[in-house]
Structure 1
Amino acid sequence: MSFVFFDTETTGLKRGFDQILHFAAVRTDENLNEVARFETRSRLQPHVLPHPSALRTNGLPIESLTDSSLPSHYTMVGDIRRTLISWSPCGFRRLQLHPLRRGDAAPRPLPVPISGISDK
C-alpha cells in the first residue's frame, strides 16, 4: 500500500468559506520512499477575501494571489482530483507544517480512503 502526505495553504480556517490556494502532496511506497510528487496553485476567486492571519502565516503576497497566469480554483481542484485518483489506492495524511496556536484546528486524516473516490 502506498501513502500520500499533503498540505494546503488557504485563505483562512473556515471550512466551506475559505479557499485552498496551494496544494502539495508526496506519494510514498509502503517503506515511505518517495515515488511521486505533486504541487499546484490557483488564483484567488473574486468573491474571497483572505484573512490577514492566513496571509501572514503562508507568506503569500496578495499580488501573487491575483496573478491571472495562475489556473482558476476550479482547474486546480480538477488537477488535484485527477492526480489523487491516479495514485489510488493509498492511505492519506495531512501534514501540519505550521505550529498549532490556540484555536487552530488539529490536522486530521481524510475521512475516506482515496480508494473511495471514483472517477464517475
Structure 2
Amino acid sequence: ERYIMLSSIFALQPDKWHIDGLDQILDYTIAKYFADNYLVNQSGLKYTILQPTNLTEEEGTDKISLDVTGVTSNPIPDVAKTLAEILKHDNTIGKVIMMNSDDTPIDAASASVK
C-alpha cells in the first residue's frame, strides 16, 4: 500500500545535474530520474521519494534539513532513520523530499512536510 524510495538529490531536476558532485554520478542520477518518474507518474502507488545529498560513513546526528539548495552530505544512519520516520507520517505521501544534514530533529522535519 505504501512505497518509500531512496533516490538522489535533484534526480528529477536535470538542469542541476551539472553541479559539482552530481556531475560525477551522472549515470546513477539518470537511472534515479527514470525510476522516480515511473513511481510518480505510472505506478499508482502511495509513494514517498527521499532524495538525500551525498551519503557519508559518519555517525548520525539525528538532525536534518528539508530545505536543500546544494550538494552537501548526510550520514548514512540519518538517511536510514529518515526513511523509517517517513512511514509514520501520512503527510509525506505523494511527496519528493530532499534532505541534508542540519539542525532539525528527524521526527520534527518529517512531521513538517507539506
TM-score over 0.5 for the alignment?
A: no
TM-score, normalization: structure 1?
0.30
Q: Which has the higher helix share?
A: 2
| Structure of greater Rg | 1
